[in-house]
Structure formats: C-alpha cells, structure tokens
Amino acid sequence: MVNEKLLNDLLNKMVDNKRIFSVVLCVENGDRSFSWTGAAGNMDKDSRFFIASVTKLYVTAVVMQLIEENRIELKDKISKYLTDDFCERLHVINGVDYSDDITIAHLISNTSGLPDYFFHKQENGRTAADNLMEGNDGSWYLDKTIGLIKSLKPNFKPGAKRKASYSDSNYQLLGRIIENVTGKKISEVFHDYIFSKLDLPNTYAYSDINDHTPVPFYYKSQQLWLPQYIASVTVEGGIVSTADEVMIFLKEFFNGRFFPKKRINDLKKWNFILPPPGLFQFGIGLEKLWIPRIVAPLKPIKEIVGFWGQTGSFAFYNPQTDLYFCGTTNQINGKGHSLASNAMMKIIKSVL
C-alpha cells in the first residue's frame, strides 16, 4: 500500500513558487482499494485544467476504436483520406516527394518525419512557441500548419528505421482524417467516443474563448491565457479535465474499455525521442518514460507508460505495481516534468 505521508511530502516539495506554482496529483491502484488525490499551490483537487498533449492519448483511444469498427487501418496512406491540396508536396527531401508514403501509423507514432510547426525554427529564427509564450494569442488551424510545414525541410523519410521526431503537425493531420472518416468535428468525436461513454461531466474539448473555467498555466513566472490557440488545436492538446476524470479515462484505456486490452502490446513499438520535456520513448500513440537503472538497481522499475503534456500534465500506468498516476504541474518547463517523473518513480519504489 502507498504511504500517504510520502504522497503529501512529494506533493508539497514540488511547489516552490519560483518554478512551480501549483500541482495536482492523483494516484490509484487497479481495484481502487487505494485512491488518493492531492493539490498544492494555487490549484484545488477538483480544478479543471488544460491536459495539453495528454489529449493525444484520447486520440489513440479514438483511432483504436475506428480500427475496431473497420473504418481505418494504421497502414492506410493518409492520401486516402485527405485532399490533394493537403498531401501534394507535403514531404519533400532533396527534390523527392515522399508525401504519398505517409501512413496513419507514421502520424500517430511520430515517424512521418514531418517538421513540428510548434517548435521548428522559421527563417526569422523564431518558432510558433516563442510567440505564444510571449502571450501573443492566436489561432493555429490545419491550413496554417500545412502552409508552414510545406516550406520547411522534413526531418527524415517516412518510417525511416529507428527515427522519430515529436511533431504536433502529425496530430493536426490525424485530426482531420478522423473528422473526414466520422463526418464529425473532433470535439464531437471525443464526446461520442469517450466523454459520454465514461460520463465525465467536467471533461470537454475547449472551444469557447470566453470560457475561463480552466486554470491558466504558467510559463516561467507568468500566467498564460491562450484561449484562441487552445480552441484551435483541439486534437493535439485542447481537452480540459480534472485529475479524477483523467484517472477514470486512464484506467479504462488500459483495461480494454475502448479496444481489446491485448492490443496494448501492439502500441509498444518504441523509438527514443528528445523534444521538450526530455528523453522518453514514443510508440503507437503511447509514451514510455526512460528509467535509468540507477533509479532502482535492486528492484528495477520495468515500465511506466502513458502520456506527457507540455504544461506538465501527465497520465501514466505502471503494470508492475498496478498503479496509475495523473495530474499536472501546470507549468511549461522541464522542471515540472522532472518533478512529476521523479515522484512517480519514488512512489513505485516504495511499494516494490
């Protein structure tokens, strides 16, 4: 059993009011004989927050359901579902157009080689992230993304061996494919395929820029409020939720509610990747923490799988101890991710 004093100590040590201003942490085991949620700083246990790229785990749940419905396959070329204006010269290296080689699998595993519109440096030396982190809010729809990435050099050929590069561009394209297949907006798809099935009253795709319910997140010491941007990037990071409701989704994801549980292993085709927030492995719509052996040399932690969000949000599962973790440090910096990662490892070690 997890020691609650350890949880409270870890939680309170995360908030220093310099780099981290708020934390919510939820820990639960498989049969719910242990369930704990704590908050520190300027968030409460039931605060609604932007789950950022943890949204992509919800995308995985949708994609796997569409596969079960025989509406798509991972091996399908994206050109089957997207118009020529999107696909033509989307991925050109040394004069060779590889656009027609890109598959759904490449998008959801970040192995397409397409550059990331968010962090890729443009000709002026700046990135989309730079502008947003300065508080300059603005929409970023797929048409804008396509226009930018067609002017950028891809990272590698689609499906290149042992190559992966984190790119939100992949998920914007994947979102449009999901919309074209279902005939619904991605917000409606999330509702129909996940939110309504699990009865999550505090979870929704952010769309109303006048909605101030979610707590703002931080960049350095400044609160950021970017409603236009978040409302425009639903598929890559636009879900709002609470720690307890992320926990409900996380457990159902790994326990076969959305697709056969045995297919989880099909997602574990790992490639190392190194974007913010740091070194980890990326599979088929699933992430795995990199765990140095020195962390637990006598009783190694074998696997922590789930998803990170750029705002310090997280949702992970450790099959070894049957423990689930979710929450947020609500801060765009690597420190929050590091603290959350270390906390999860300490908790797992305490029960091994």
Biggest distance spanned by C-alpha atoms of the chain:
60
The proportion of the chain whose per-residue pLDDT surpasses 70, expressed as a percent, equals 98
How far apart, in whole angstroms, are the C-alpha atoms of residue 211 and residue 238? Answer: 13
Pairing of strands 323-328, 313-318: antiparallel
The pLDDT assigned to 279 comes to: 67
Instruction: Say whether pLDDT at 276 is over 50.
Output: no
Instruction: Say whether pLDDT at 277 is over 50.
Output: no
Stretch 206-234: mean pLDDT, rounded? Answer: 96
Contact 239, 198 (CB under 8 A): no
Render pLDDT for 233-256 as a digit per residue (tens, 0 to 9): 999 999 999 999 999 999 999 999
By three-state DSSP, how is residue 111 classified? Answer: coil
Nearest to 289 by CA among 265, 277, 305, 301: 305
**Lowest mean pLDDT across 118-127, 171-180, 217-226, 331-340:** 118-127
CA 236 to chain CA mean position, Å: 7
Instruction: Say whether pLDDT at 142 is over 90.
Output: yes
Contact 179, 189 (CB under 8 A): yes
Domain ranges of the chain: 4-351
Contact 54, 75 (CB under 8 A): no
The pLDDT assigned to 17 comes to: 80
How far apart, in whole angstroms, are the C-alpha atoms of residue 120 and residue 163? Answer: 17
Instruction: Say whether pLDDT at 22 is over 90.
Output: yes
Instruction: Say whether pLDDT at 39 is over 70.
Output: yes
Q: What does pTM read for this prediction? A: 0.97
Stretch 81-90: mean pLDDT, rounded? Answer: 93
The pLDDT assigned to 298 comes to: 81
Pairing of strands 49-50, 280-282: unpaired
Instruction: Say whether pLDDT at 51 is over 90.
Output: yes
Render pLDDT for 97-118 as a digit per residue (tens, 0 to 9): 999 999 999 999 999 999 999 9
Domain 4-351 has CATH 2.60.40.1230: no
By three-state DSSP, how is residue 44 classified? Answer: coil
